[in-house]
Structure 1
Amino acid sequence: MASAPATQHQEYVGYDTITQQMERKFLKRGFNFNVILVGESGMGKTTLVNSIFASHLVNSQGRRTAQEPIRKTTEITPVTQQIDENGVKCRLTIIDTPGFGDQCNNDGCWVPVIKYIKDQHAAYLERELKPQRERIINDSRVHAALYFLNPGFPGLRPLDIEVLKRLTEVTNVIPVIAKSDSLTTEEREHYKKKIKEEMGFHRIQLYPYPSDEDDEDDRALNLGIKELLPFAVIGSEDIFVENGRSVRGRRHVWGIIDVMNENHCDFIHLRNFILRTHLSDLIEVTSQRHYEAFRTQQLRQIKELRAAQAAQAQAAQSSVAGGNPQAIQK
């Protein structure tokens, strides 16, 4: 029996509305975005984050006076706030690490930071493996780490190298030059070049990572980001009026530095990178790269532990049977 000829007009089905369905569900549910700040006190971590999100989200946890004692250990202090912009709900968690790198001997100061990140992976895995797990698992995994480089040093310190190597294994690391207005334009470019060379020498792999799924536009965008790393940033919550317009910046004796001016610093590039071009990718890479590596390692260890326990039980049973002739006859 011959098949009927195809009609010239195809009836509209409507499966292309799936993007609208996904958008409605996404807007209703919202999403989590978690950022950890790693750097010593006085690097302007809190100010930068408040500047990025244009809101007073985090209070300073650093020392306010020289007389205040230095923290002996790194204290992890997460702060979560709900942000709503044009109907999109974001549960933003900022994790500060006051006390990091503030000691004369900073050996092991990174341990609480790495432990916190791995603990969030472990908590997510535990909820995921429950027999009756939640339909939507609360995501407390760290999606990005802003690592603050001290412009007062000529390059990467041994502490920076050690911490960056460990951090890049568990999360997406974005290096920033803190308070870059303390450097001249020439000093800033020289500092960036030196940092890139040292990171390449020590094989420190930073986000964004190359992917086979990237198209030509993605590769061009990521290449531009790589050229800017590390971001030379200036944060400020102060607003000044300059020539009749409001300027967010820092006042010096010679004038005002405009935080939003890309000729003054890389702040606008950093904010666009984190929020406008790579926010979704940061969350996805955390899940598919860092969490998946942690999950695979944990499940392998569980499998090996169970195999070892089974082997021990079998050996014990054989030992009991070997010492009992009646057990052998049975």
Structure 2
Amino acid sequence: MPNGQGSAPQTVTSKDPKAAAQAASDMRNIVRRKLTGYVGFANLPNQWHRKSVRKGFNFNVMVVGESGLGKSTLVNTLFNTSLYPPKERKPPTLDISKTVSIQSISADIEENGVRLRLTVVDTPGFGDFINNDESWDPIVKNIEQRFDAYLDAENKVNRMNIVDNRIHACVYFIQPTGHSLKPLDVEVMRKLHTKVNLIPVIAKADTLTDEEITAFKQRILADIHHHKIQIFEGPRYELDDEETIAENNEIMSKVPFAVVGANAEVTTADGRKVRGRRYPWGVIEVDNEEHCDFVKLRQMLIRTHMEELKENTNNFLYENYRSEKLTAMGVQQDSSVFKEVNPAVKQEEERSLHEAKLQKMELEMKMVFQQKVAEKENKLRQSEEELYARHREMKEQLDRQRQELEEKKARIESGRPLEEKGKRKGFSLR
């Protein structure tokens, strides 16, 4: 009989979970069968759809850029909601913070019965100083702290309600200078591209002409390639149809996205009401692909690649950070562990991490215990020496008193007076 039709399916039995996972993932152990009738597992995507809609989705996006580039306006335009309230104008005399702060805003939004928990992390103060050295540290630390919090949640006994607060996408706003990336932009992108999905955008693209935007994009991509900065690219799958491939290629051809943000509706010359900005020479339409790349940015972030952004964050960025963290702790890891999905292997990995933490805590407790014991021993030694000295003194005193009493007893028994001869009073007849 031909292979895969009449041969018996192979089974894998092993007490070693890693060996079992490796054998289970071996393609030689897979037997392909043709169905003779309808079974029903083709309905699994529908089950997953119902489960996802019931559970809801979450998406965490970070916006990084200098003040005045329209970050808040673009976020409100992307999700068509007033997530950011109108900002108040600060007086010129007000003191400005000297550090980059991290602000997080969350909102529950719903569309056609699908719930989305959206969290936007803003970085006010970035790039606003004369000296911007190390201004990216609060941003990098915030991303790493979110990774650490997720790692700690994974290592707990109860992992049923783990909240994913990791940053899934970072929209980096580039000032529309028309020249090239500034040194600050290059340095920040180099610090972020290994920890977050980096998506560069050209802010306020309506200040540049089409020719200037095209040349600016080429210079930005050249700088990114020269400094070996990784930006997010949509994944390509073998089963994608030609339409999907063409759509993904069109989206990636617009990177970096030249965007314009606007929440207000304006009326065009032909009477249409659109979201955009009015100028003396005409109207910039936000949702018109001929005017800017906002539609393509929204399409990649929300409509086509949101799950890919979350998947890339979990499977690559977070796993790389996690493996580096465990290696720094001295835990030896198998490079193939992250490719396995066997629960026993994952449990073994978590047990190793837990044992490493326990060992570290045990060493620290031993050091503290030894220090306390040494201090207590010194005190006991001093007390013991004092007690020995007092005991020796009292023993010598008792010995002297015993000797005197024995001498007195001997005199009494012999009939001699208790006073010594030299101490007798009166005259002697002898």
Q: How does the TM-score come out when normalised to structure 2?
A: 0.66
Aligned partner of residue 303 in structure 1, secondary structure: coil
Measured against aligned partners, the alpha-carbon deviations of 1:166-185 in whole angstroms (never above 9, x if no partner) come to 11010001000000100011
Q: Which moved more, 1:84-93 or 1:239-248?
A: 239-248
Q: Deviations over 1:43-87 (max 9, x none)?
A: 000000100111111235686555554331111100000011111
Residue 298 (structure 2) aligns with: 271
Q: Are residue 120 (structure 1) and residue 146 (structure 2) matched?
A: yes
1:83 — aligned with what? 109
Q: How far did 1:18 drift?
A: 1.2
Tell me the distance in 2 between the aligned counterparts of 1:191 and 1:63: 31
1:262 aligns with 2:289: yes
Aligned to 2:425: none
Q: Which amino acid aligns with 1:32?
A: N
Residues 216 and 108 (structure 1), Cα distance of their counterparts in 2 relative to 1, 3 Å cut: farther
Give CA-to-partner distance per residue, 1:73-107, whole Å, 9 cap, x none.
11110000001111111100000100001001000
Please give the residue correspondences for 1:180-329 in structure 2 after superposition, counting only pairs within 5 Å: 180-208=205-233, 215=240, 217=242, 220-242=246-268, 243-304=270-331, 306=356
- In the alignment, the residues of structure 2 paired with residue 69 and residue 15 of structure 1 have an alpha-carbon distance, to the nearest angstrom, of 63
SS in 2 for 1:265: coil
Q: Is the 8 A contact 2:181 2:220 kept in 1?
A: yes
Q: One-letter code of the match for 2:179?
A: P
Change (3 A) 1:63 1:301: farther
Q: 1:202 to 1:109 in 2, by over 3 A?
A: same
1:17 equivalent in alignment to 2:43: yes
| Equivalent residues of 2:169, 2:309 under 8 A apart | yes
Q: Is contact 1:144-1:172 (8 Å) kept?
A: yes
Q: CA RMSD in A?
A: 2.7
Instruction: Go from structure 1 to structure 2 and tell me whether the alpha carbon gap of 1:237 and 1:45 turns closer, same or farther (over 3 Å shift).
Output: same
1:161 CA drift (Å) = 0.4
Which amino acid in the other structure matches residue 259 of structure 1? Answer: V
Work out which of the two has the higher radius of gyration on C-alpha atoms and give 1 or 2: 2
Amino acid at match of 1:146: V
Residue by residue over 1:176-230, the C-alpha shift from the partner in whole angstroms, topping out at 9 and shown as x without a partner, is 0000100011111111111111111111111016667685756544433332111
Instruction: Tell me which residue corresponds to 2:166.
Output: 141
Task: Work out whether residues 70 and 102 of structure 1, in 8 Å CA contact, stay in contact via their aligned partners in 2.
Answer: no
Higher-strand-fraction structure? 1
CA 213–141 in structure 1, closer or farther in 2 if over 3 Å, else same: farther
Q: 1:35 to 1:227 in 2, by over 3 A?
A: same
Query: What SS does the corresponding residue of 1:228 show, helix, strand or coil?
Result: coil
Query: CA offset at residue 28 of structure 1?
Result: 0.7
Gap change, CA 1:39 and 1:222, over 3 Å in 2: same
CA separation of 1:215 and 1:14: change in aligned 2, threshold 3 A: closer
Q: Deviations over 1:231-277 (max 9, x none)?
A: 00000011012222211001111111111111111011111111111
Q: Which has the higher helix share?
A: 2
- Please tell me the residue identity of whatever aligns with 2:149: A
Asked if 2 retains the 8 angstrom alpha-carbon contact of 1:145 and 1:172, the reply is yes
Cα offset, 1:302, TM superposition: 2.5
Which ranges of structure 1 fall in alignment gaps of 5 or more residues? 4-8, 317-330
Q: Distance in 1 between matches of 2:301 and 2:123?
A: 20
For 2:13, the equivalent position in structure 1 comes to: none
TM-score (norm 1): 0.85
